[in-house]
A = this chain, B = another copy of it.
Amino acid sequence: MASAGESFFEGAEKLLEVWFEFDDDSLESSLRSIDRKVWEDLLKVVKCEIISRTADEDMDAYVLSESSMFVTKDRFILKTCGTTTLLYAVKPLIKLVKEKCRLKQILDIFYSRKNFSRPDLQIGMHRNFSDEVSHLDKQFRNGAAYSLGRINQDCWYLYTLDNAGVERPDQTFELLMWDMCREKMRVFTKDVSENGLDATKRSGICDIIPGAKIDEFLFEPCGYSMNGLLPGGYYITIHVTPEEEFSYVSFESNVPRESYDELVKKVLEVFRPGKFLMTIFANKASVAKDCHKEINDAESLQGYVRQDHQFCIFKNYNLTYTMYSRPIL
């Protein structure tokens, strides 16, 4: 995802998730009725483009030049790294959904990101979370902005709506990893792997959640993106920035788990980060709604030491934020 000439690439993604409610159940009342051309135009605003598309009964999944996009009937997810300008697309997104579909209301919004390594290289409002918040506040009433973790070290920002939100079970699990194992990262270069599929197999990504329909891409000369689709409307998405000077990997999924322990273990084995942060969102109807309890009690995880742990109760969602680092021996 970084080209050879660049001295730095910001792996940390901007992540937007929007839940829509429509007037009826007609064909037009679905985001999936929107033409690819319309999405392509929207992505121009963000400064990225579609590389590949896969789909199943429940969603369309796109691998982008900078990360991923997922479109279901009523949920839109856009995750973009580098110096993309994701939040500039929020207003156009809502406008196009109003035009193309029978929009009743926006049920919920989640915009989140880790603090950037080089905020100075970002464009416009993305240099600064408070500018991003001001931009979103102009479009939404009831927007609530938070920072979790240490503002002066590693932290994670969130903007969401103080709404009743999504009623059906929903959960999002993220592992954002950095200071990666050099050896593990070599797989995600053209020197070692032939193509995306080869990297998926060699890395062990194919075994993290078996049975997923995977669409992946290995960038030239290095960098990797994958989307995985699972029956029932579940997705996985992984993005790898392997360069040692700014290595970064993200794992995200909405698979429901009462405990994410096993999944964490598998992801850490594949990537071996020096540090990582874990966020888990779970609404009241989710099987994951109590998984913060075991995390509250655990001062270490798979050999990593907990640096920070915060638990938040929102109107409809519980959120845990935990940051871990490999102990210095």
Contact = CB atoms under 8 A, between A and B. Distances in A.
Contacts of A143: 152
Nearest to A162: B307
- Number of identical protomers: 2
A147 B147 contact: yes
Given A143-B152, A147-B147, A309-B313, 16 more contacts: A129-B151, A130-B151, A133-B152, A144-B153, A144-B308, A145-B152, A146-B149, A296-B313, A306-B313, A308-B312, A308-B313, A308-B314, A309-B312, A310-B310, A310-B313, A311-B311
28 contacts: A129-B151, A130-B151, A133-B152, A137-B152, A143-B152, A144-B150, A144-B152, A144-B153, A144-B308, A145-B151, A145-B152, A146-B147, A146-B150, A146-B151, A147-B147, A147-B151, A162-B307, A296-B311, A296-B313, A308-B312, A308-B313, A308-B314, A309-B313, A310-B310, A310-B311, A310-B312, A310-B313, A311-B311
A233 to B, nearest CB: 29
Interface string A110-135: 00000000000000000001100100
Nearest to A309: B313
A143 B152 CA distance: 8
Contacts of A145: 150-152
A154 to B, nearest CB: 10
Nearest to A160: B150
